[in-house]
A and B are shown apart, each in its own frame.
Chain A
């Protein structure tokens, strides 16, 4: 692991360093809400997934959904974090129509998960470890609809009470690239664990980004929080803008006001949402409707034993078992679906040890290349893992050349079908029968006596003969055999 050097921003007075911390709100994958039995399904008609508890009817009480607790613990384990066997739910009090109780049930002083860390890979083989401060469970809010009536706002409580994990990083992030890579990595871990679908467009993953600047080595500056970011690219843009805004103020002799800001992606700028003076006093106190959340180490150990292999472990295994480069392995494990695809290919291969690395090259170069070109993702790939494994088997066992394999891949992409059967039916098999190749070689030498005579003085012209033979065989002659035969016949 190399320590990343991070980007400094140039100002009029010299270099500035960014200090960034993030709060990621990840919607927990679960069938029902954190404290009620209502469905968490996305996209229902307004107010169709609302229980009496979610609507905060008089006398209703929250009951913790154990699956959400398991998901939080799994996530904590995936972040190499301390799991707290005892944690406490608190009420965060504020009035807003999307919060029917008048408070959000959250965890304030005693979160379910404590300190952990995430290894984040950057370009050029660099990496950086970002500390996790804590992870806690809390309720999501409902949604206000302002476009249904000219003089009224409507409230949709479907999302209200859905479980969120707030994952708070330490202020260890130093530039926009690291911030983007951190969110990407965290999202990947969550998706591997199956604890959050990571769908940023649907709002399943949102980030609040705290940004401050300082001269390298100086104490921390005053930070601003950019709220509710739901795109990794916007996070990068917002950080760059915000840091430059702060540097400009500081270099003009001003001070940074601690405040909450919003990023406007259309204008590419952040603007003030509320100042520190306007900040709410949330009057946190332990929720008296809920007992402290307690579970045993055995409960944690069981979840740990069932934990799936995570990207870092998978990457190490790919490198060790199949000799992949660290870079290739990272590419394959970055998305859970890609890793699953690659591993399915491996499972179907006739000879994994021999062809595992070739399979990685095919997945990364041919398949991803082609998918990218068409703007598709791996789940919509026309060539499935079985088909790709068959193509690689055919290369590995010498039935087809790599060049033919690319043609075959194209046929399978366009038309589908069983690669092995296609090779048979379309006569794509590589010719390894020496006598057949020899005949072609002899014919070509006989037809070109002048060139054959020159080869001894100009060995590089051997390539011309190879080309001619391959052309005459329709590309199916085994290139190695062609080379060997030509050399012996021409006496090179």
Chain B
């Protein structure tokens, strides 16, 4: 039955509808794959019993002809999403054995549509990281390796577990979140498709917060079509999140295969970095050529404030995080360290519960918001953010439909290879992706080729707000041209 795991979500849907196989069979195939792939450390919690119960229920509904759009499809859930009755930790020791009594809006919509939960996926602690190395459950392995090498590489982060699990065929799709690139960068590192929708498209209710004004949920999937199917269920207005937007969710799948003829694609000159690997440059050109061949028009555009995006992001995001993480104080839930008084309780609990990267960002955030520094850092970063937003607006105002960029400045790297001495080295991974979060726009990462060592590389398409459909149409053109990539199994 293991071949069932190699289907795309769209193919599995067809097979389930035709009763070629049951959801229980499909689910069991994935549960076995998960068991066999524990070395990847993609799952931090497996829920096989719940998965089988949900699969049986889905099978019942399919039999009755009452199937939701994702009926019987087994998915993995990033550990940032609260799942009722199932441990949710954001991969932080400070949440200890926290079991929510509530279900996040996004996951509840997936269950509403019939999907099956296989378990919880590893991620960087509180989604802070670009390599999935900050998780309290340890790093995640990328199913991809350099040709002829046994070195385990990172899957990217923070949604490293999601990307690794989808690429290794452990689940048919996964939820993920993206604050500065946490969906798109791991998708690019693992040859999966990841879309960060427009800010406000998915509800943030029940997702452990990192930086509220930037966080957005989205799927990581095996194909552009699969991503479209998943996003349709995940998206939608939620009165419990006032930053979610009350506009109808389109049938994203209908955008797949739609002609891109006449679309204007911007190529931003500021994304051509000094010292960018030639392979990335070549990939970018190839992507542009494919879109051109499909009838799109290419134009060079300028996003002049791009170079300020990363520094501004590393002020705004930690500032919000420092406040969002204040609730983890050892008083009501999660870890509590012994102490003689309340101040000690805070100090001991937070020192023990938070990992080094989280502590660093909490300190940076506290610093940039403090009296005397607020104007110089936080306020200024917000101004930069407005300028970045305006860069994109100006660009779209000139008739550009989408912007094509590389997804990452490099392919996946080895565990422990980056950021050890200088955290900025790690932060630079997000150089092409943070601008999109700062502007609140949708961005998709699509696999587009391999580097000379056989590692996957991705391209990013950035769209107008709430025009994810354009990204799905264009993304599928790249997918068709580049083909799909599956790692050779070594685990």
Interface residues of A (CB under 8 A from B): 52, 55-64, 91, 93, 95-97, 100-103, 153, 155, 281, 283-285, 287-291
A193 and B239 alpha carbons, distance in the complex (Å): 30
A56 and B102 alpha carbons, distance in the complex (Å): 13
**Cβ contacts under 8 Å, B346 to chain A:** 95
Considering only CB atoms, which chain A residue lies closest to B80 in the complex?
Answer: A59
Segment 2-34 of B: residues with Cβ below 8 Å from A:
none
Q: Assess A283 versus B82: contact at CB under 8 Å? Given A52-B101, A59-B104, A61-B242.
A: no
For the complex formed, measure the closest distance between the CB of B200 and the CB atoms of chain A, giving whole angstroms. 10
A96 and B346 alpha carbons, distance in the complex (Å): 9
- Establish whether residues A283 and B366, one from each chain, have CB atoms under 8 Å apart when the complex forms: yes
Q: Which of the residues A58, A93, A100, A288 comes within 8 Å of B212, measured between beta carbons? A: A288
A59 and B90 alpha carbons, distance in the complex (Å): 10
* B211 interface contact, C-beta 8 A: yes
For the complex formed, measure the closest distance between the CB of B109 and the CB atoms of chain A, giving whole angstroms. 15
Sort chain B's interface into a size bin: 35 or more
List 11 other contacts, CB 8 Å, given A56-B332, A100-B327, A288-B320. A57-B102, A58-B95, A58-B208, A59-B104, A61-B205, A63-B239, A97-B329, A102-B329, A103-B323, A283-B322, A285-B374
- Establish whether residues A59 and B209, one from each chain, have CB atoms under 8 Å apart when the complex forms: yes
**Cβ contacts under 8 Å, B101 to chain A:** 52
* B326 interface contact, C-beta 8 A: yes
Q: Assess A290 versus B100: contact at CB under 8 Å? Given A58-B82, A102-B327.
A: no
Q: Assess A285 versus B319: contact at CB under 8 Å? Given A59-B205, A63-B239, A64-B242.
A: yes
For the complex formed, measure the closest distance between the CB of A100 and the CB atoms of chain B, giving whole angstroms. 6
- Establish whether residues A58 and B342, one from each chain, have CB atoms under 8 Å apart when the complex forms: no
Q: Assess A291 versus B104: contact at CB under 8 Å? Given A155-B331, A285-B323, A285-B378.
A: no
For the complex formed, measure the closest distance between the CB of B243 and the CB atoms of chain A, giving whole angstroms. 6
**Cβ contacts under 8 Å, B332 to chain A:** 55-56, 100, 155
Interface centre among B95, B98, B369, B374 (most CB of A within 10 A): B369
**Cβ contacts under 8 Å, B370 to chain A:** 281, 283
What 6 pairs between A and B have smallest CB-CB spacing?
Answer: A102-B326, A288-B212, A288-B213, A283-B369, A56-B327, A59-B206
- Establish whether residues A61 and B333, one from each chain, have CB atoms under 8 Å apart when the complex forms: no
- Establish whether residues B366 and A100, one from each chain, have CB atoms under 8 Å apart when the complex forms: no
- Establish whether residues B100 and A101, one from each chain, have CB atoms under 8 Å apart when the complex forms: no
- Establish whether residues A58 and B240, one from each chain, have CB atoms under 8 Å apart when the complex forms: no
* B371 interface contact, C-beta 8 A: yes
Interface residues of B (CB under 8 A from A): 81-82, 88, 90, 95, 98, 100-102, 104, 204-209, 211-213, 239-243, 319-320, 322-323, 325-327, 329, 331-333, 342, 346, 366, 369-371, 374, 378
- Establish whether residues A59 and B320, one from each chain, have CB atoms under 8 Å apart when the complex forms: no
- Establish whether residues B205 and A60, one from each chain, have CB atoms under 8 Å apart when the complex forms: yes
- Establish whether residues B369 and A285, one from each chain, have CB atoms under 8 Å apart when the complex forms: yes
Considering only CB atoms, which chain A residue lies closest to B342 in the complex?
Answer: A97
A93 and B362 alpha carbons, distance in the complex (Å): 13
A100 and B326 alpha carbons, distance in the complex (Å): 8
A308 and B322 alpha carbons, distance in the complex (Å): 45
Q: Assess A101 versus B369: contact at CB under 8 Å? Given A52-B102, A57-B102, A59-B207.
A: no
- Establish whether residues B327 and A58, one from each chain, have CB atoms under 8 Å apart when the complex forms: yes
Q: Which of the residues B212, B333, B374 comes within 8 Å of A57, measured between beta carbons? A: B333
- Establish whether residues B326 and A101, one from each chain, have CB atoms under 8 Å apart when the complex forms: yes
- Establish whether residues A95 and B329, one from each chain, have CB atoms under 8 Å apart when the complex forms: yes
**Cβ contacts under 8 Å, A63 to chain B:** 239-242
**Cβ contacts under 8 Å, A281 to chain B:** 370-371
**Cβ contacts under 8 Å, A57 to chain B:** 82, 100, 102, 333
Q: Assess A61 versus B241: contact at CB under 8 Å? Given A100-B327, A100-B332.
A: yes
- Establish whether residues A100 and B331, one from each chain, have CB atoms under 8 Å apart when the complex forms: yes
Q: What would be 26 A-B contacts, judged by CB atoms less than 8 Å apart?
A: A52-B102, A57-B333, A58-B88, A58-B98, A59-B104, A61-B204, A61-B241, A64-B242, A93-B322, A93-B369, A102-B325, A102-B326, A153-B342, A155-B331, A155-B332, A281-B371, A283-B371, A284-B369, A285-B319, A285-B323, A287-B212, A288-B212, A288-B243, A289-B212, A289-B242, A291-B243
A153 and B323 alpha carbons, distance in the complex (Å): 24
For the complex formed, measure the closest distance between the CB of B90 and the CB atoms of chain A, giving whole angstroms. 7
**Cβ contacts under 8 Å, A288 to chain B:** 211-213, 243, 320
A291 and B212 alpha carbons, distance in the complex (Å): 11
**Cβ contacts under 8 Å, A62 to chain B:** 242
**Cβ contacts under 8 Å, A59 to chain B:** 81-82, 100, 104, 204-209
Considering only CB atoms, which chain A residue lies closest to B101 in the complex?
Answer: A52
**Cβ contacts under 8 Å, A95 to chain B:** 326, 329, 346
A468 and B333 alpha carbons, distance in the complex (Å): 86
A60 and B327 alpha carbons, distance in the complex (Å): 11
Considering only CB atoms, which chain B residue lies closest to A101 in the complex?
Answer: B327
A56 and B242 alpha carbons, distance in the complex (Å): 17
- Establish whether residues A58 and B323, one from each chain, have CB atoms under 8 Å apart when the complex forms: no
**Cβ contacts under 8 Å, A55 to chain B:** 332
A103 and B329 alpha carbons, distance in the complex (Å): 12
**Cβ contacts under 8 Å, A61 to chain B:** 204-205, 240-242
A14 and B405 alpha carbons, distance in the complex (Å): 77
- Establish whether residues A93 and B242, one from each chain, have CB atoms under 8 Å apart when the complex forms: no
- Establish whether residues A289 and B371, one from each chain, have CB atoms under 8 Å apart when the complex forms: no
A462 and B262 alpha carbons, distance in the complex (Å): 116
Considering only CB atoms, which chain B residue lies closest to A94 in the complex?
Answer: B326
- Establish whether residues B323 and A102, one from each chain, have CB atoms under 8 Å apart when the complex forms: yes
**Cβ contacts under 8 Å, A56 to chain B:** 327, 332
- Establish whether residues A91 and B243, one from each chain, have CB atoms under 8 Å apart when the complex forms: no
- Establish whether residues A97 and B331, one from each chain, have CB atoms under 8 Å apart when the complex forms: yes
**Cβ contacts under 8 Å, A60 to chain B:** 205-206
- Establish whether residues A91 and B323, one from each chain, have CB atoms under 8 Å apart when the complex forms: yes
Considering only CB atoms, which chain A residue lies closest to B333 in the complex?
Answer: A57
- Establish whether residues B323 and A93, one from each chain, have CB atoms under 8 Å apart when the complex forms: yes
A288 and B212 alpha carbons, distance in the complex (Å): 6
Considering only CB atoms, which chain A residue lies closest to B82 in the complex?
Answer: A59
Considering only CB atoms, which chain B residue lies closest to A280 in the complex?
Answer: B371
Considering only CB atoms, which chain B residue lies closest to A279 in the complex?
Answer: B371
For the complex formed, measure the closest distance between the CB of A422 and the CB atoms of chain B, giving whole angstroms. 60
Considering only CB atoms, which chain A residue lies closest to B205 in the complex?
Answer: A61
Considering only CB atoms, which chain B residue lies closest to A282 in the complex?
Answer: B371
A287 and B378 alpha carbons, distance in the complex (Å): 13
For the complex formed, measure the closest distance between the CB of A488 and the CB atoms of chain B, giving whole angstroms. 86
A322 and B362 alpha carbons, distance in the complex (Å): 67
**Cβ contacts under 8 Å, B342 to chain A:** 96-97, 153
For the complex formed, measure the closest distance between the CB of A154 and the CB atoms of chain B, giving whole angstroms. 11
A371 and B55 alpha carbons, distance in the complex (Å): 73
For the complex formed, measure the closest distance between the CB of A231 and the CB atoms of chain B, giving whole angstroms. 29
A290 and B370 alpha carbons, distance in the complex (Å): 21
A43 and B319 alpha carbons, distance in the complex (Å): 37
A57 and B323 alpha carbons, distance in the complex (Å): 14
A291 and B104 alpha carbons, distance in the complex (Å): 21
For the complex formed, measure the closest distance between the CB of A366 and the CB atoms of chain B, giving whole angstroms. 55
**Cβ contacts under 8 Å, A283 to chain B:** 322-323, 366, 369-371, 374
**Cβ contacts under 8 Å, B239 to chain A:** 63
A327 and B104 alpha carbons, distance in the complex (Å): 61
Interface centre among B205, B326, B374 (most CB of A within 10 A): B326
A52 and B103 alpha carbons, distance in the complex (Å): 12
Considering only CB atoms, which chain A residue lies closest to B365 in the complex?
Answer: A283
A379 and B206 alpha carbons, distance in the complex (Å): 47
A435 and B205 alpha carbons, distance in the complex (Å): 89
